[in-house]
Structure 1
Amino acid sequence: MPGTFRIGGDLEVRRLGFGAMHLPTEPATAREGAVAVARRAVELGVTLIDTAHMYGGGANEELLAEALHPYAEGLLVTTKVGVVRSESSGEWELNGRPEVLRAQVEQALRRLRVERVELLQLHRVDPAIPLAEQLGVLRELVEAGKVGRVGLSEVTVGELGLAREVVDIASVQNRYNLLDREHEPVLEACAAAGIAFLPWRPVAWGASGDEAVVAEVAAELGATPTQVALAWLLGRAPVVLPIPGTAGIAHLEENVAAAALTLTPSQRARLNALSEHH
C-alpha cells in the first residue's frame, strides 16, 4: 500500500481504508460472511475501518467488534454520531442535540468494546442546533477522554472553518470521486490544513466503468475501472483516504490491490479531464 497518513498529526493509518456500511448483520449466514470480510480486510493490511451509529442503529459497530476485537495494534475503527431513527416514521433523521450525541458515543464505546473512540465524526450537521453547540459537546467528550479526535461529514468550506474555531478537526468525510467532484473546495481546504479527507462513495457505485476514458486506462494497466478510480483518488492528494466498502471478499481484494496501481501523468490528465463533463 502506498504510504500512510497521520490523522490529527499523530494517528497513523494506511491510506486505503474500508467502509463497513455494506456488511450485513443478519441473517446468521450473511453475518458470518460479513465477519470474514472484516477480518480479511485487516489481513490485507487495512488499518482504517469506517462505521456509524446509523448503520443498523449500532449493529454494524457490534459486528466489527465481534469480528475484530481485540483490535490489532494500529487498527483504527472510526464511527459517526448525530443521526437517529424517528420513532414515528421509522426514517433516519438528523439530531445533534447534546444528549443524543453523548448517548450515541456511550453506546459506541460499549458496542465497539473500547474506552475511547479514537476518531469520532459528526455524521451530519443538524441545522436545528447551532454548530458550535454540537461541536462543543464533542470537545467536552475529548476533554473527558472518551473521544480522541473529532471529524465532520458532508460539510462546506464555511462550516469547516467555523468548526475549527470550536475544536480541532482531524478529518472530513464528504462525497467525492472521479466523476463527482462537487466538494473539490472542501478537499482543497483539507489539503491546505493537513486534515484527512475520507471520500465516501469513492467509486461512484461502479459508474466509473461506463466512461470510455476510465475503461481505456483500466485496459492499459490491466486493472478494473474500480481500481483506476481508487488509484486516481490516492494520487489526488496525500490527505485523501478512500474508504471503499463491499460485502464480498473478492471485491475487497480487488479494492485493496488498487493501492499498487500507478497512473502515468498522461493517464491522470485524461482522467482529470472527466470533471469537465460531470
Structure 2
Amino acid sequence: MTNFHETWQLGDLTVNRVGLGAMRLTGMPWDEKPKSRENSIAVLRRAIELGVDHIDTASFYFTPTRSANELISTALQPYPENLVITTKVGAGRDRDGEFSFARPDQLRGQVEENIRQLGLDHLDVVNLRWGAAMGKEPGSLAEHFGALAELREAGLIRHLGVSNVVAEQLAEALSIAPVVCVQNRYGLADREDDALVDLCGEHGIAFVPFFAVTTSLPGASTPDTVPGQAEVAKVAAAHDATPAQIRLAWTLHRGAHVLAIPGTGDPRHLEENVAAGGLRLSEAEMALLDGVGSVAG
C-alpha cells in the first residue's frame, strides 16, 4: 500500500506525485554487466503494488542487451487502467549509443517507435526532449513542437510536455499547444531552474525534475557527496530517513505541482523512494536545506 496521497493532473490524467524513472532499469551504459531482466521486471511490478501510477521512459533508454520500453511492456501488460506512461522524443540514439537530435519530420517515427515498443495504441504524454546534449540549448522549438501538436491532433499523443528548456521556450510551446509538464534537471544542489519551477506552478504545469538525487553520470557525485551533505544528514537523522529520501522530499516540498521520477533497479531503493513521498519537512528544515542551494549556486 502506498504511503503518499498527494496527486497532480497531467491534463486529464491524475498521477501520484512519486513516480518511477525507467532509465536505470536497463543498467547504465558504463556498468560492467547488464542488469538482471528478472530483477528489473520485479521492480516494475513492485512499483505498481506500491501505488506508482506514473512511469517515465524513452526509446533511447537502452543498453546493448536491454530496453526500458521492452521491460515495461513485458512486466506490466496488460497495463493497469490508471497507469500513465510518459516518454520523450527529439533526442535519439543509434545502435552505438551516440545521441543525435531529430528533425521535425522524424518525430512521427520516434513516436511510433515508442508506441510499438510499449504495445500501446497511443502515448499518454510525450515530452519534446530539446537538444542532443544534457544541457539546455538555445533556439526556437516551434517547428518541432508544432510537429508533435499535429500528432496530438491525429490521436497518436494525448498530452504534450517539454524537457531541457528555458522559460522562453516554454512560452513558445504554450503558444502552440497546451503543455502539461516540464522535465528539467533539478535538485537540492542544482537550482538553476528555481524561477522556472515557480513559473510552472503559476501556470498549473507539472514540473518533473530528473537527476533530483544525483547526476547519474559516470564517476559523478552520490547523495552523500553532493553539496549539502551535512545539512541533509541532519534532517535525515531526525526522520530516520536516508539522504536520498530527504533530497526527494525537499523536491516535493517545492510545490504541489512538482513530481518525482527517481530511477532505480533496486527493489529496496524503490520502496525508499516511494516512502519519501510521505515525509513532511518542517519550515525550519526547509530553510536549512534551502540554504544549500544558495551556497551551491
Q: TM-score, normalised by structure 2?
A: 0.87
Q: Does 1:81 align with 2:84?
A: no
Deviation at 1:90, TM superposition (A): 5.0
Pairwise mapping of residues 1-278 of structure 1 onto structure 2 (< 5 A)? 1-8=4-11, 10-24=12-26, 30-56=36-62, 59-86=67-94, 90-95=97-102, 97-125=103-131, 130-205=140-215, 207-210=222-225, 211-278=229-296
Find the aligned partners of 1:46 and 1:255 in 2 and give their Cα distance: 11
- Contact preservation (8 Å) 1:51, 1:60: yes
1:207 CA drift (Å): 3.7
Aligned letter for 1:38? L
Structure 1 unaligned spans of 5+: none
3-state SS, counterpart of residue 250 of structure 1: helix
Distance between the aligned counterparts of 2:160 and 2:187, measured in 1?
23
Shift of 1:84: 2.3
**Structure showing the higher helix proportion among its residues:** 1
CA RMSD of aligned residues (A): 2.2
Could you tell me how far apart the structure 2 residues matched to 1:158 and 1:119 are?
21
Using a 3 Å threshold, how does the CA distance of structure 1 residues 24 and 90 change in structure 2: closer, same or farther? closer
Tell me by how many angstroms 1:69 deviates.
Answer: 1.1
Gaps of 5+ in 2: 216-220
Counterpart-to-counterpart distance in 2, 1:161 and 1:197: 14
1:217-257 Cα shifts (integer Å, max 9, x gaps): 10011111111111111111011001000110011111111
CA–CA distance in 2 between the matches of 1:272 and 1:242? 18
Residues 48 and 159 of structure 1, relative CA distance in 2, 3 Å threshold:
same
Residue 51 to residue 193, structure 1, CA distance change in 2 (3 Å): same
Shift, 1:2, TM fit: 3.4
Q: Which moved more, 1:157-166 or 1:197-206?
A: 197-206
**CA displacement at 1:11 relative to structure 2:** 0.9
Instruction: Give, in whole Å, the separation in 1 of the partners of 2:140 and 2:190.
Output: 29
Which structure 1 residue ranges, 4+ long, deviate > 2 Å from structure 2?
Answer: 25-29, 84-87, 125-130, 204-210
Tell whether the 8 Å contact from 1:53 to 1:83 is kept in structure 2 after alignment: no
% identity of equivalent residues: 43
Please report the TM-score for the alignment, with normalisation by the length of structure 1: 0.93
The AA in structure 2 aligned to 1:139 is A
Aligned residue type for 2:90: G
8 Å Cα contact 1:41/1:252 also seen in 2: yes
